[in-house]
Structure 1
Amino acid sequence: MESTFKFEQYQGKKLIRKEREGLRTNEIEEKVIEVDVDFFQGENHEIMLDGVKIDIGNVLIKPPLIMQVMHDFPFLKIHFEIEGHSEYIPDNTKSIPIIIKGGQYNFFYLPEVKGTLRYPIRKRKSLEIIFTEQYVKKIFKNNFKEVSTDFGAALEKKIPFAMFPESREIPSHLSLIINDIINCSYEKEIKQVYLESKIIEIFSFLFTQLKDEKKEEKCVVLKKHEHEEILKAEQLIRENIQNPPTILELSKLSGINQHKLKTNFKLVFKEPIFSYLTSIRMEKAKKMLIEEELTVSEVAYAVGYKNPQHFTTAFKKKFNYLPSNLKKEYSLKQKV
């Protein structure tokens, strides 16, 4: 199993990483790789279990770091971008892009990896779990086909799969597991069992979500006019981000009763109205902090927060870093 990374902007420098076939190992193996080159500094903590590899990254890069990437094996990964931003754009139009922003995650399968990998933000913290098809099938044994739904079908047909078309915010339950994995200090044999249990916990959570969403798709199909009503409600939220309507006001403006509004909105946008409002506020705030000469307090007010501290708390929860840190990092990027 071989991965090639070619850095076109740095005289075509090339990195080749090799792994054992099937990620096989008889016991837990660990190593910390420290890197200090002109465009990349930090460390990567690699933990190898039988059939699965855990990569814990904590690095500073010279953005944007762009490389051509190619794997000579099918790629299955659960990716948590704790801080930073990761983009993979395939050369093959039949494949799919994978874009994961800071504070987001995704779970995907790519039969072929050949394309462009881009890191546009200076600081990256990530947890990546790379595994084989045999490993995940071993976890669920005879129940794999039943619980794997669309993911299992994609594996069988060898077609690209991403759990979410747009990567989602890391939920609190998974954040706790991530911290457990990163901060695990058990001795060798105990650590192996502990980490394997945590990976199984993550898979259990993801496959439960897959099944639940499949049930929702089968049980509820919105009529055309119902879908249009929700799109109208979303537009009203987006256009009034600084002073958004209440649920009651939104119900009257969009012509939907409150219960249907809340239920159908979550079906279309995959999160409750208030959570969605917070997400688009944070995305707008991030863009303003990078592109405009505004203070954190001014940005907070512009996206609807009267109290800058409440805004800072929400921003930190969304992206796992403070808005003031984003301004500092962007200033450093401009100076590089």
Structure 2
Amino acid sequence: MSSIMKSILKSDSFTEKTLTKKHPLGLRSLDLNEKDIKYSNATLNVNTKEIILDGIKISIRNEQITPPFIIEVEHSFPFLKMHFEIEGSSKYTPKNTLSVPVTIPNGHYNFFYLPKVKGTLRYDSTHRKTLEIIFTKAYLKKVFGASFKDASSEFGIALENNSPFLMWEQSKPITPQLHLIIDKIINCNYKGGLKKAYLESKTIEILTLFFDEIQHKKNNQKAFLNKDDYAKILNAEVLLKENLKKPPTISELSKLTGINQCKLKQNFKLVFNQPIFTYVTELRMEKAKNLITNQGYTIAETAYEVGYKNPQHFTAAFKKKHNYLPSSLKVVCSKN
């Protein structure tokens, strides 16, 4: 038996035409194994950070490409992955019966199991930023123990039967809650064993959210939207994100998206699992954290940027959401 797992990537956009990536069998690594990979030619510029824990591989990608960028892909191992398309889009089209199509638009994510990967990847955006986490079956069973089947429901059954499984037929928008966890993974500054433990804890946090959603999936089957309604709700979210300083009212959003107010509120909650006002607050708090910790904004400046005229009102809303003051982020930031 081979002691490595292989990924074979073929594209006319590669200088070598074919790239072979090797991974340790079972993604085994007693210590944190981290490397930065850079690849550049006339049609693409790729910066990837790859981190192998014990049974997990985390890839943080930042790519500039010339679309459409098409890759023939084949893996020598079962593919168990959660994929966050932070910017850009990804479309996998299988050439076998042991995998299924996977389409992840801009700002969306999905979690899937493909027993055998052989097919085509297509990217249609000039800039892609992604977080991709690959697991082994053994890792999931280790984390959830004897309760794995109960915790993972139909996903666990698919793994046991070696059947392809896509958690959501229609990839879901990345929520503010997930964005916060993703940012913590991407911007983690810890080293060595501390970083390994931290990244594992964040990965398990995401898995817990996913499996909790699987268990409630049946209750939501009746709630699927048609393509047109779904696209309008995604447009509503974009409008809210682009106007956090002064978000449109329900009435204004209804007119901008062409959905009546009742349907807008109902469908928005269906897609994003929370009311519009709650979602806007989460978006504001997510942006606030980034402005304070990564861009050095003051509390007053941050309050203004996320739509609060009064810094005290912002501070109160932040504390209500996170149970600590935004000023404590400045302390953490200065220590780093």
- TM-score range for the pair, normalised by the shorter chain length: 0.5 to 0.7
Unaligned runs of 5+ in 1: 252-260, 276-309, 311-336
Say which structure, 1 or 2, has more relative contact order (CA 8 Å, 6+ apart).
1
User: What letter is aligned with 1:88?
Assistant: Y
Contact 2:173 2:272 in 1 (8 A): no
Cα root mean square deviation, aligned: 3.0
CA deviations 1:124-160 (Å, max 9, x no partner) are 1000001100001111111101111110011111111
Counterpart-to-counterpart distance in 2, 1:125 and 1:194: 22
Aligned to 1:165: 169
Aligned to 2:38: 34
Q: TM-score by structure 1 length?
A: 0.68
The reply to whether residue 92 of structure 1 matches residue 106 of structure 2 is: no
Q: What is the CA distance between 1:67 and its match in structure 2?
A: 1.2
Q: What is the CA distance between 1:102 and its match in structure 2?
A: 1.3
CA deviations 1:200-256 (Å, max 9, x no partner) are 101011001111113445xxx69xxxx9xx87x959x79x975635335x69xxxxx
Counterpart-to-counterpart distance in 2, 1:243 and 1:6: 41
Contact 1:29 1:49 in 2 (8 A): yes
User: What letter is aligned with 2:131?
Assistant: L
Unaligned runs of 5+ in 2: 234-253, 277-306, 308-336
The reply to whether residue 24 of structure 1 matches residue 38 of structure 2 is: no
Aligned to 1:203: 207
Contact 1:84 1:123 in 2 (8 A): yes
CA deviations 1:161-202 (Å, max 9, x no partner) are 111101110011110000000000012111111111000101
Of 118, 122, 125, which aligns to 1:118? 122
Matches within 5 A, 1:148-187: 148-187=152-191
Contact 1:106 1:163 in 2 (8 A): yes
Of 237, 244, 249, which aligns to 2:258? 244
Counterpart-to-counterpart distance in 1, 2:14 and 2:31: 37
Where has structure 1 moved over 6 Å in runs of 4 or more?
A: 272-275
Counterpart-to-counterpart distance in 1, 2:15 and 2:50: 27
The reply to whether residue 54 of structure 1 matches residue 58 of structure 2 is: yes
User: What letter is aligned with 1:77?
Assistant: K
Identity over aligned pairs, percent: 42
Counterpart-to-counterpart distance in 1, 2:63 and 2:27: 24
CA deviations 1:269-307 (Å, max 9, x no partner) are 6457987xxxxxxxxxxxxxxxxxxxxxxxxxxxxxxxx
Of 51, 71, 82, which aligns to 2:75? 71
Q: TM-score by structure 2 length?
A: 0.68
User: What letter is aligned with 1:213?
Assistant: K
User: What letter is aligned with 2:110?
Assistant: N
User: What letter is aligned with 1:120?
Assistant: D
Counterpart-to-counterpart distance in 1, 2:113 and 2:13: 28
